[in-house]
């Protein structure tokens, strides 16, 4: 029985070809007049665009951007999955569409023979008349304004008065950071971190609110994206459970530490891991590639941080060495800086070993805390 092979979108560019159907041990590549019916049969539409805040970008593994959400809605209307691909420039967009590597371009292109434009927003090949007719009929006069309003609402940070009012530390006198301290101690051992560093990151993520949900859809104490939680073995039913969420966050940090194990200095690697937790490992690798291109040390955070900050500028995120495109770089840079600052504050106030006066979490608390000999001291950051 034939089945469609869906190539998942990724910020790591791949060489692509038109969708392929496999059956009976043979492969049949799409013909030159690959059209709507073929897209629906394959179950996937490939849309190419330029990276940017108004077109398409990835944040914590999730797609965002006006053109992404419009294309996603159209893909759903024809019963297909969306595969969004980014190109470095208009010339590459034209080539991809001409060569059949993309079914549609979500960007303004110059008038080109063999192409047809839809509402000055999308471009398809002239030899795809069914796709042209379908997309033209679907796109209404208010389509852009409708999805722009949704995008602005989606990316506007939610007001969380009760969360912002939460103190960063329950008791400096007693060395109690939060009601979740025993969990930070327990799961920091997964990554070899000082437990107070994990607590500092958690406060940055959610202000210790176990029910927090971000504008991007991140959930719980460690703000796990649903897909990330699932990969770390945390089900949707468990994601708001404090212990399970902290465990999932720690497992993901360990995964990121393994990704960046080519950075030998453990203190340096910590910076890269924190940045990747916020912005995604692909964007961090992009900043490292830019640092190397400009003669800086790609394994020194002070050098890479400069390019993290500048990945919000077209001159940088459209550089040929960049694979993942646009990043809200000031957020990622500030994320690392603020966590390290709060960690330093915690080290001055909370003991390296769990204080006996520190309470266990009120719900689902472990029956006992780990033995003192199992704790990670200040000098051990990442194994």
CATH number for the domain that contains residue 28: 3.40.190.10
234 and 362 belong to one structural domain: yes
- Final residue belonging to a domain, choices 155, 181, 211: 155
Rounded Cα distance, 143 and 285, in Å:
35
pLDDT, residue 61, reads 77
172 and 131 belong to one structural domain: no
234 and 329 belong to one structural domain: yes
pLDDT, residue 4, reads 30
Kindly state whether residue 209 falls inside one of the protein's structural domains.
yes
pLDDT, residue 164, reads 52
Which pLDDT band holds residue 209 (cuts at 50, 70, 90)?
very high
pLDDT, residue 88, reads 87
317 and 365 belong to one structural domain: yes
- Final residue belonging to a domain, choices 105, 131, 155: 155
Does residue 75 surpass a pLDDT of 60? yes
Kindly state whether residue 383 falls inside one of the protein's structural domains.
no
Q: What is the per-residue pLDDT across 298-336, written as a single tens digit (0 to 9) for each? A: 999 999 999 999 999 999 999 999 999 999 999 999 999
pLDDT, residue 32, reads 61
Q: What is the per-residue pLDDT across 331-382, written as a single tens digit (0 to 9) for each? A: 999 999 999 999 999 998 888 864 433 333 433 333 333 332 232 233 333 3
Q: What is the per-residue pLDDT across 114-167, written as a single tens digit (0 to 9) for each? A: 999 998 989 999 999 999 999 999 999 899 988 888 877 776 654 443 445 577
Q: Count of domains in the chain? A: 2
Rounded Cα distance, 282 and 61, in Å:
9
237 and 173 belong to one structural domain: yes
**What is the number of alpha carbons within 13 Å of residue 232 lying toward its C-beta?**
25
pLDDT, residue 106, reads 95
Kindly state whether residue 380 falls inside one of the protein's structural domains.
no
Which pLDDT band holds residue 17 (cuts at 50, 70, 90)?
very low
Which pLDDT band holds residue 68 (cuts at 50, 70, 90)?
very high
Q: Determine contact, residues 28/21, Cβ cutoff 8 Å.
A: yes
Rounded Cα distance, 322 and 13, in Å:
10
Residue 238: both structure tokens together: 């468990």
pLDDT, residue 239, reads 95
pLDDT, residue 191, reads 93
Which pLDDT band holds residue 215 (cuts at 50, 70, 90)?
confident
30 and 78 belong to one structural domain: yes
Bigger pLDDT: 355 or 177?
Answer: 177
Rounded Cα distance, 2 and 18, in Å:
17
351 and 282 belong to one structural domain: yes
Q: What is the per-residue pLDDT across 54-65, written as a single tens digit (0 to 9) for each? A: 899 988 878 889
Question: Quick one: average pLDDT of 89-114?
Answer: 93
Q: Name the least confident of 140-149, 168-177, 256-265, 359-368.
A: 359-368
Q: Report the residue count for the chain.
A: 383
Q: Print the domain residue range for 329.
A: 168-374
Burial-class residue 114 by CB neighbours within 10 Å (0-12, 13-18, 19+): exposed
pLDDT, residue 108, reads 81
Kindly state whether residue 365 falls inside one of the protein's structural domains.
yes
228 and 292 belong to one structural domain: yes
Bigger pLDDT: 20 or 300?
Answer: 300
Specify the CATH number for the domain of residue 177.
1.10.530.10
- Final residue belonging to a domain, choices 130, 155, 180: 155
Q: Which residues contact 39 (CB under 8 A, 6 or more apart)?
A: 19, 45, 78, 80, 103, 131
Kindly state whether residue 379 falls inside one of the protein's structural domains.
no
Does residue 280 surpass a pLDDT of 50? yes
pLDDT, residue 344, reads 95
Kindly state whether residue 121 falls inside one of the protein's structural domains.
yes
- C-alpha to C-alpha distances, 39 to 33, 68, 70, nearest whole angstrom: 11, 18, 17
Q: What is the pTM of this model?
A: 0.76
Does residue 247 surpass a pLDDT of 70? yes
pLDDT, residue 352, reads 82
Kindly state whether residue 324 falls inside one of the protein's structural domains.
yes
pLDDT, residue 167, reads 78
pLDDT, residue 156, reads 67
Does residue 264 surpass a pLDDT of 60? yes
Q: Which residues contact 294 (CB under 8 A, 6 or more apart)?
A: 307
Question: Quick one: average pLDDT of 279-297?
Answer: 97
138 and 200 belong to one structural domain: no
């Amino acid at each position: 029985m034939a089945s469609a092979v869906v190539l998942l979108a990724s910020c790591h560019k791949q060489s692509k070809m038109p969708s392929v159907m496999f059956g009976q041990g043979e492969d049949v590549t799409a013909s030159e007049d690959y059209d709507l019916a073929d897209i629906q049969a394959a179950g996937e539409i490939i849309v190419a665009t330029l990276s940017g805040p108004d077109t398409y970008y990835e944040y914590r593994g999730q797609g965002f951007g006006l053109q992404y959400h419009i294309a996603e809605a159209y893909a759903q209307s024809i019963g297909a999955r969306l595969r969004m691909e980014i190109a470095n420039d208009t010339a590459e967009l034209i080539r991809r569409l001409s060569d059949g590597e993309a079914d549609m371009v979500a960007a303004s292109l110059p008038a080109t023979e063999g192409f047809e434009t839809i509402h000055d927003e999308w471009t398809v090949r002239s030899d795809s008349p069914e796709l042209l007719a379908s997309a033209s009929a679907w796109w209404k006069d208010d389509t852009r304004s409708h999805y722009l309003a949704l995008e602005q609402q989606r990316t506007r940070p939610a007001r969380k008065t009760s969360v912002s009012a939460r103190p960063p530390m329950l008791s400096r006198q007693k060395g109690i950071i939060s009601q979740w301290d025993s969990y930070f101690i327990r799961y920091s051992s997964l990554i070899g971190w000082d437990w107070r560093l994990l607590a500092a990151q958690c406060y940055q993520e959610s202000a210790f609110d176990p029910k927090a949900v971000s504008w991007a859809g991140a959930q719980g104490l460690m703000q796990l994206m649903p897909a990330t939680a699932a990969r770390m073995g945390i089900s949707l039913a468990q994601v708001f459970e404090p212990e399970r969420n902290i465990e999932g966050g720690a497992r993901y940090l360990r995964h990121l530490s393994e990704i960046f194990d080519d950075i030998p200095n453990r203190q340096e690697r910590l910076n890269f891991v924190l940045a990747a937790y916020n912005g995604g490992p692909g964007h961090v690798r992009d900043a490292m590639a830019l640092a190397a291109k400009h003669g800086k040390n790609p394994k020194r955070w002070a050098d890479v941080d400069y390019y993290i900050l500048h990945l919000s500028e077209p001159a940088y995120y459209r550089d040929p060495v960049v694979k993942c495109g646009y990043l809200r770089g000031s957020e990622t840079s500030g994320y690392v800086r603020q966590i390290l600052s709060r960690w330093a504050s915690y080290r001055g106030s909370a003991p390296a070993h769990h204080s006996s006066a520190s309470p266990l979490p009120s719900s689902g608390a472990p029956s006992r805390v780990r033995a003192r000999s199992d704790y990670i001291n200040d000098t051990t950051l990442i194994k």
